[in-house]
Amino acid sequence: MTAGAIAAEPLGVACPMDLGWRYASGAAMERFLAGLRERRIEALRCDGCGRRYLPPRPLCGDCRLPLDRWVPVAAAGTLEAWSVYRLPILDGRTGEPRPTPYGIGLVRLDGADTTINHLLAETDPGRLRIGLRVRAVWREELRGALDDILHFEVAR
Amino acid sequence: MSAVAIIGTGQTRHASRRDDVSQPELVREAAEAALADAAVGPDEVDAVLLANMELFEGRALPELWAGAGAFAAGKPCMKVATGGTSGTSGCIAAFHQVAAGLFDLVLVVGFEKHSEGHSQTGMALTDPFWDRAVASGALGNFALSISQYVAERGATAEQAALVAVKARRNAARNPHAHLRMGDLTVEEVLSSRMLADPVRLLDMCPQSDGACAIVVASAAAARRRSRRPAWVLAAETRHEQPYIGDIDRRLVTMRTLRDAARVAYRRAGIGDPLTDLDVAEIYEPVSYAELAWYEALGFCADGDAGRLVEEGVTGMEGELPVNPSGGVLSSNPVGASGVIRVAEAALQIHGRGGERQVEGARLALATGYGVYAWADAVVLGAEAGAT
Amino acid sequence: MRAGDRPAVAIAGVGQAGPVAADSRSIPEMVLAAVEEALADAAIGFDGVEAVVTASVDLFDGLTASNVAITEVVGAVMRPETRIAGDGLCAAIHGACELRAGACETVLAVAHGKASMAPHWALTEWAMDPVFLQPLGIDFLVCAGLQACALAQGDGGATERWAELAARRAAAGDAAIAPPRSAAEILASPVLASPLRRGMAAPLGDGACAVVLRAAAGGPGEAPVRIAGAGWDLEPHSPGERDLARWHGLERACARAGLDRTDPGLELAEPSCLFAHEEELFRAAAGIGEEAPLSPGGGLFAGTAPHVAGLSRLIACARAIRDGAARRALAHGAWGPAGQAHAVAVLEAW
């Protein structure tokens, strides 16, 4: 190759990334996660607007008031939004692709006002619609993490 | 806010891979084009603002490395990173720094080189305790919100496909665009691969490598240097609650964009945006979002967006051409996409839109969209406002 | 930030969480503590905040668009917020720009960082040129070592001097993160990046800072501190392209802030020096001799969260002016390898 010529294949430098972080859950989330180990779901209710928040958090963003009133939430609710995801996508926990297709939904659990973003057992779009009643399917061994709920299934 | 204007714009050729350039070189390509357009020398630039979502390239503080591409060495330089709104918020940051009286000429460069990182992983680092286990990226989040929007407003797949066709056909007249598909048909969109119901491949934006730059000038510098500055008449930002599940039917309500637009229109003296605006460059990562944004932006009544696109109201020959550039649906280097919206709006005011010029454009809207519902609204005009 | 018909910028309230070695609270909880303190200090509630500027870095937080995590606790829901990915002082400076631009009357500037989440210096490798520098394993720590090496060239007493300086600074602080050590102990501490030893580096930890800025006319009844000038600068990236024995970028930033190096007229300087040798670079660049107190509280050697440092320095200056300890002070923030980027703010009593 003469000086100044450009290689046919562009040169690249590989920088493999292997990083990890230790995240603090925060007091509200810690209580929520501890509850999951006993299949208990709790939300925080805002004294200003009455909104019951999942996930629990320190402050209501609308009213800008601290949240400390816990309210019980059921492990069943209403499907408020849905899709069937068909692309291979990486699981943020493992870095491995998830098997496709898989259902996703926003579920408004009975007793909460925000929705929970989770997986659905149903993958047939013809059988999914907004307003369906759904319930949580729990993992056998509970670990105190959101994926203690494997997915939601349609209550028929 | 004291008067500021955009006096030059420039962008790269956007493509799925730009292996021919490094990140600083990509930035340089856009920066040089914008400076040439404004007839401003690199040494005349007082300060630089960069916009980029660094995690998509697996990087931190990318201005340190790529800043040199924007001639930032030896100059004041900050970097804005706010998800999809990075570009519009980067432009707004420059407006504020110039309006503050600190600088006469600021160069803004937004860039993203998706091909050098792993954008899916970059998007997957959501709350590790809440939705990281189930997060399905921008596509999944949009698909969910679209199911609500379709159910409530009755938008159809055909209407969404019309948006996708309009975007790619417009892009065919934009030499910078990534997806230039002058012959695309509704049938092709409707038969493209289903990605996440009801979103099909051709409903969705691509991932692009690309950069875009604007030159922001103080009133005095703008009048001295530009025959037709694009004056900043309004610039508004609204952020939202942190989780998708917090936002009540977000495409239906989109209160951030509604409020940002309402205030921006008021500041710019816009009564009816559909008749008053000459052109709009809006940030639509997916076809259905454009329909939802028409309603949030007040181009039509709620539920009427489909009619707008069916009747060609937002086409190049319509009453309010939306995204003559081809929009985000045709090119999406995330950190640049917001700058592209602002630059394309400015380009129309400058009257330098070439084949995508809207004849006699004097009032233009640019919007940004990011995370779940963050919104920016920028109004540019051919005449300086009263502010 | 000088002259003209634009409003002056007052520092109306300040608040801090940490720094501590490892804060068991989440990022939002930590940030909320700082914000609540700043709002209380400014005697306003969340309703009194019109706009927010935050500073954070995604890769350091391990979060995509990491300011998402704090939108609620900084009061940014349905408000203008922007995020500068850089040192926290940039948030305050940009917030001051928004006020000067007339975009709003009150801005909340917030910065957070948690070094306890991941090995910080290892993360900084991802901020280096990935073609020519990162593959060599060069991170910010290595660059600091190169810079110290350049300074120590032909200066036989340099390391002893830095050890003494570090010992003095650490002793002045409240030692929240690392216990103070003698110069001899520092010289015997493990090598970080030759010639730098562990004790010559400020201890890193977790923290958040919040500052309420207000557009002001000045005069009686006004918040007692104002931002009189600000400047920032980016140097070339590669250490090989720079004269490592000088902080040219800081010289330019100071000039932009209206500081005369030959007579800066400062009664206090609060630099962001993560390493002892950087204090010498700072003094030379800002033109600060021995007459003005520098880091009387130990500076970053009392502990700091990465990229919160500059905002914590601004708070230190503001408090000193309020307490009557100084009438004019310089706050400094830095980011990037070997001081590639600098920001400064000149604070004055009304």
Query: Where do the domains of chain C lie, and which CATH numbers do they carry?
Result: 8-118+204-216 (3.40.47.10)
Is the CB of B349 inside 8 Å of chain A's CB atoms?
no
Q: Could you tell me if residue A5 is inside a domain?
A: no
C50 closest CA partner among C83, C75, C32:
C75
pLDDT at C222 over 80: no
| Contact (CB<8Å) B64/C79 | no
| Contact (CB<8Å) C78/A62 | yes
Q: Could you tell me if residue A58 is inside a domain?
A: yes
- Burial of B381 from C-beta contacts in 10 A (0-12 / 13-18 / 19+): buried
Q: Could you tell me if residue A39 is inside a domain?
A: yes
Q: Could you tell me if residue A2 is inside a domain?
A: no
- Identity of the residue in B120, B140, B240 whose CB atom sits nearest the CB atom of A104: B140
In percent, the amount of chain C with pLDDT more than 90 equals 90
pLDDT at B373 over 60: yes
Confidence label for C4 from pLDDT (cuts 50, 70 and 90)? low
> What is residue C70's predicted lDDT score, i.e. its pLDDT?
97
Q: Rounded to a whole number, what is the distance in angstroms from the first to the last CA of chain A?
A: 70
Q: How would you classify the pairing of strands C51-55 and C106-114?
A: parallel
- Identity of the residue in C57, C130, C252 whose CB atom sits nearest the CB atom of B61: C57
Q: Could you tell me if residue A10 is inside a domain?
A: no
Is the CB of A34 inside 8 Å of chain B's CB atoms?
no
> What is residue B217's predicted lDDT score, i.e. its pLDDT?
98
> What is residue A89's predicted lDDT score, i.e. its pLDDT?
83
Q: What is the mean predicted confidence (pLDDT) over B186-214?
A: 98
Kindly state the tokens that stand for C15: 């608040």
Is the CB of C32 inside 8 Å of chain A's CB atoms?
yes
Instruction: State which residue of chain B sits closest to A102, comparing Cα positions.
Output: B196
| Test mutation, A17, A21, A33, A114, chain C, max C CBs within 10 A | A21
Interval B117-160: pLDDT, tens? 876 667 778 999 999 888 888 999 999 999 999 999 999 999 99
Is residue A120 within 8 Å of residue A151, measured between CB atoms? yes
Q: Which helix (DSSP H) or strand (DSSP E) does residue C48 occupy?
A: none
Query: Looking at this predicted complex, what is its ipTM?
Result: 0.97
Cα–Cα distances in angstroms (integers) from residue B87 to residues B214, B337, B356, C110, in the given order: 11, 6, 21, 21
> Domain range holding A147?
27-154
List of chain B residues whose C-beta atoms are within 8 Å of the C-beta of residue A115: 244-245
> What is residue C268's predicted lDDT score, i.e. its pLDDT?
97
Cα–Cα distances in angstroms (integers) from residue A77 to residues A130, B141, B250, in the given order: 11, 20, 19
pLDDT at B1 over 90: no
- Burial of A3 from C-beta contacts in 10 A (0-12 / 13-18 / 19+): exposed
Helices and strands counted in chain A (H then E): 1, 8
pLDDT at C148 over 70: yes
Q: What is the mean pLDDT of chain B?
A: 96
- Identity of the residue in B130, B136, B245 whose CB atom sits nearest the CB atom of A85: B136
- The nearest CA of chain C is from the CA of B62 a distance in Å of 6
Q: How would you classify the pairing of strands A102-109 and A76-85?
A: antiparallel
Q: What is the mean predicted confidence (pLDDT) over C41-51?
A: 97
User: Alpha-carbon distance B84 to B87, whole Å?
Assistant: 7
User: Alpha-carbon distance A51 to A63, whole Å?
Assistant: 10
Chains in contact with B via at least 3 Cβ–Cβ pairs below 8 Å: A, C
Confidence label for A8 from pLDDT (cuts 50, 70 and 90)? low
List of chain C residues whose C-beta atoms are within 8 Å of the C-beta of residue B219: none
Q: Which residues pair with C77 in a beta bridge?
A: B239
Instruction: State which residue of chain C sits closest to B78, comparing Cα positions.
Output: C84
List of chain A residues whose C-beta atoms are within 8 Å of the C-beta of residue C116: 22
> What is residue B188's predicted lDDT score, i.e. its pLDDT?
98
Instruction: State which residue of chain A sits closest to B22, comparing Cα positions.
Output: A12
Q: Helices marked H in C213-288 — which ranges?
A: 248-256, 276-286
pLDDT at C2 over 50: no
pLDDT at C211 over 90: yes
User: Alpha-carbon distance B217 to B226, whole Å?
Assistant: 10
Q: What is the mean predicted confidence (pLDDT) over C181-202?
A: 96
Q: Could you tell me if residue A20 is inside a domain?
A: no
Chain A and chain B share a number of CB contacts under 8 A equal to 118
Q: Could you tell me if residue A148 is inside a domain?
A: yes
Q: What is the mean predicted confidence (pLDDT) over B343-349?
A: 98
Q: Return the higher-pLDDT residue of B121 and B114.
A: B114
pLDDT at C264 over 50: yes
Is residue B364 within 8 Å of residue B279, measured between CB atoms? yes
- The nearest CA of chain C is from the CA of B242 a distance in Å of 5
Is residue B305 within 8 Å of residue B295, measured between CB atoms? yes
Question: Residues with Cβ < 8 Å from C249, sequence gap 6 or more?
Answer: B74, C233, C234, C235, C339, C340, C341, C342
| Contact (CB<8Å) A83/B129 | no
Kindly state the tokens that stand for B345: 């709006």
In percent, the amount of chain B with pLDDT more than 70 equals 99
Confidence label for B104 from pLDDT (cuts 50, 70 and 90)? very high
pLDDT at C1 over 50: no
Instruction: State which residue of chain A sits closest to B131, comparing Cα positions.
Output: A117
Interval A95-130: pLDDT, tens? 788 889 999 999 999 999 999 999 999 999 999 999
pLDDT at A2 over 60: no
> What is residue B22's predicted lDDT score, i.e. its pLDDT?
96
Phi and psi of C196, rounded to 5°? -80, 135
pLDDT at C106 over 60: yes
- The nearest CA of chain B is from the CA of C4 a distance in Å of 8
pLDDT at A6 over 70: no
Q: What is the mean pLDDT of chain C?
A: 95
| Test mutation, B18, B21, B130, chain A, max A CBs within 10 A | B130
- Identity of the residue in A25, A95, A104 whose CB atom sits nearest the CB atom of B129: A25
User: Alpha-carbon distance C297 to C316, whole Å?
Assistant: 8
Q: Helices marked H in chain B — which ranges?
A: 23-38, 63-66, 86-99, 119-124, 137-153, 157-171, 186-190, 219-225, 250-253, 255-268, 273-276, 287-296, 305-310, 327-330, 334-350
pLDDT at B100 over 50: yes
Q: Which domains does chain B have, with CATH numbers?
A: 4-119+208-225 (3.40.47.10), 140-205+234-381 (3.40.47.10)
pLDDT at A33 over 70: yes
> What is residue A7's predicted lDDT score, i.e. its pLDDT?
53
- Identity of the residue in B126, B237, B256 whose CB atom sits nearest the CB atom of C64: B126
- Burial of A112 from C-beta contacts in 10 A (0-12 / 13-18 / 19+): buried
| Test mutation, C67, C72, C134, chain A, max A CBs within 10 A | C72
> What is residue B386's predicted lDDT score, i.e. its pLDDT?
57
- Burial of C275 from C-beta contacts in 10 A (0-12 / 13-18 / 19+): buried
User: Alpha-carbon distance B330 to B202, whole Å?
Assistant: 10
Overall number of domains in chain A: 1
> What is residue C3's predicted lDDT score, i.e. its pLDDT?
44
